[in-house]
Amino acid sequence: MAEVVVFESAVKDYGSKRIGPVTLRVGRSEVMGLVGPNGSGKTTTIRLMLGLIRPSSGLVLVNGYPPHSRRVEALSGVGYSPELPNLPTFFTPRELLRLVGGELGVDPSKDGVDEVLERVGLLAYSDTKIGKLSKGMVQRLSIAQALMGNPQTLVLDEPLIGVDPLGADHLRKMLADFASKGGSVILSSHQLPEVEGLCTSVTAFRRGGVMFSGRVSELVGRVLGELTVRVEAIGLERNVIDKIRTLDGVLEVEENPKGLRVRVKADRELRPIIARTLIEEGCELREIGYLNNTLEELYRRVVGGDASGEG
C-alpha cells in the first residue's frame, strides 16, 4: 500500500515541552484517527504534517516530500479543515468555495462548487450568508473548502464538533465514500465512538508520545483479548443459542430477559456472523452491538485517561 504520510521518530521540542517521538504511516484508502487527551500531541502532529512547523529531529514526509521545505510538492492534493474555522461571515458558501477554487487554480467553469456543497449537505444553503449558518453548518463548510480541487488526502481537525446527528451521519458516509475511491483521511477527534465507526486505523497519544498506532481491529485484539456483544432479539430458542455457542471465536453465551450477551475473542469481527446466524434461524433481530465502545475501552486500558499537558 502506497504511503501518503510518513512520520519516523519525529520530535518537536518547544523548549518547555517535547512532543514525540511520533512514528506513524497512512496509506491510500486509509482513514487514520488521531486520539488523545488535550496536550498529548495531536495538534502538533497535524502542524508538522502541514509544514506549519519544522520537526526538531526525525522525519516527516507527505506525498514523499518534507512539507516544511517542499511545501508545494508535499501538499499538492491535500485538503485541510481546522478545528475552529474562521470563515468570512459576509460571504455565502458558494462565494467562498469559488474564491478557494480560484486560489487553487481551478477552472471556474469546472469548479464543482455545487457538487462539493451537495457532498457536505449544504447545497440548500449555498446562497445564505455564512454569518447566518449554525456552528455545525460552518464546520461542514470548512470541510467543503478542504474538498475543493479534488484532493487525494484530507486532514481534518475535529471535523464533527458541533455537527448535529443527521449532519454527522452525512459526513461519515461522505468520508467513507471518499476513502473507498482511493482517498486518504487523517482526522483528530475526542469522540471515540465516532473514530471507531469511521476509522480503519488509529494513533493514540499520551504525554507527547505515541502509545500505539495501527489497525483498529489489530489493536483491539492485541490489547483487549475479548469483547462482549450485546444482542436483543425475538425468537431465541434453545437450538439457536446453542448454534451461537458453537461459532468459532465465541467464548461464552449468557442469556438475559432481552436477549444475549456473547463473550467473543477480540481479534475477529463476529457481529455480522452472529447477526446472520440469528436471521437465518428465523429470529427477529432488534439490536446488536458491543457492550462497551471498544476504542474507549482500548484507550482507557492503554492510555489510562491521562489528561495532562498543553496543546
pLDDT band, residue 302 (cuts 50/70/90): low
**3-state DSSP call for residue 143?**
helix
Pairing, β 31-35 against β 184-188 = parallel
Q: Tens digits of per-residue pLDDT, 33-52? A: 998 877 888 889 999 999 99
Instruction: Please compute, for residue 301, the number of CA atoms within 13 A of its CA located in the half-sphere on the CB side.
Output: 16
The answer on pLDDT for 72 being more than 60 is yes
pLDDT band, residue 107 (cuts 50/70/90): confident
Predicted local confidence at residue 89, as pLDDT: 92
Instruction: Please compute, for residue 234, the number of CA atoms within 13 A of its CA located in the half-sphere on the CB side.
Output: 2
- The C-alpha atoms of residue 216 and residue 235 are separated, in whole angstroms, by 33
Cell, residue 36: 488523545
What number is the average pLDDT over the span 222-236?
84
Whether residue 23 contacts residue 9, with contact meaning beta carbons closer than 8 Å, is answered with: yes
For residue 70, give the H/E element and its range. Answer: none
What number is the average pLDDT over the span 98-127?
89
91-174-77 Cα angle (round to 5): 70
- Listed residue (2, 12, 3, 4) closest to 210, CA to CA: 12
Predicted local confidence at residue 292, as pLDDT: 67
What number is the average pLDDT over the span 206-227?
76
Predicted local confidence at residue 199, as pLDDT: 86
The answer on pLDDT for 186 being more than 70 is yes
The CATH number corresponding to 3-214 among 3.40.50.1860, 3.40.630.10, 3.40.50.2000, 3.40.50.300 equals: 3.40.50.300
For residue 63, give the H/E element and its range. Answer: none
N-term to C-term CA, the chain: 32
**Residue 198 burial (C-beta neighbours within 10 Å; 0-12, 13-18, 19+):** buried
The answer on pLDDT for 311 being more than 70 is no
- Listed residue (249, 247, 245) closest to 265, CA to CA: 249
Predicted local confidence at residue 306, as pLDDT: 45
Q: What is the pTM of this model?
A: 0.76
What number is the average pLDDT over the span 41-69?
94
63: CB partners within 8 A, 6+ apart: 4, 73, 74, 75, 76, 77, 78, 153
Residues of the chain with CATH 3.30.70.100: 220-298
For residue 153, give the H/E element and its range. Answer: strand 153-157
pLDDT band, residue 303 (cuts 50/70/90): low
44-58, 70-84, 118-132, 185-199: the lowest-pLDDT one: 185-199
The number of beta carbons lying within 10 Å of the beta carbon of residue 9 is 12
4-8, 31-35, 125-129, 217-221: the lowest-pLDDT one: 217-221
The answer on pLDDT for 283 being more than 60 is yes
The answer on pLDDT for 309 being more than 50 is no
Predicted local confidence at residue 251, as pLDDT: 93
- The C-alpha atoms of residue 106 and residue 9 are separated, in whole angstroms, by 37
Which segments of 61-104 does DSSP mark as H helices, in order? 71-75, 93-103
Predicted local confidence at residue 217, as pLDDT: 67
- Listed residue (279, 244, 277) closest to 263, CA to CA: 244
Whether residue 230 contacts residue 206, with contact meaning beta carbons closer than 8 Å, is answered with: no
Task: Report which of residues 298 and 60 the model is more confident about.
Answer: 60
Q: What is the mean pLDDT of the chain?
A: 87
* One-letter amino acid for residue 272 of the chain: P
Strands (E), 28-87: 31-35, 57-62, 78-81
Architecture of domain 220-298: 2-Layer Sandwich (3.30)
Whether residue 101 contacts residue 149, with contact meaning beta carbons closer than 8 Å, is answered with: yes
The answer on pLDDT for 164 being more than 50 is yes
Residues of the chain with CATH 3.40.50.300: 3-214
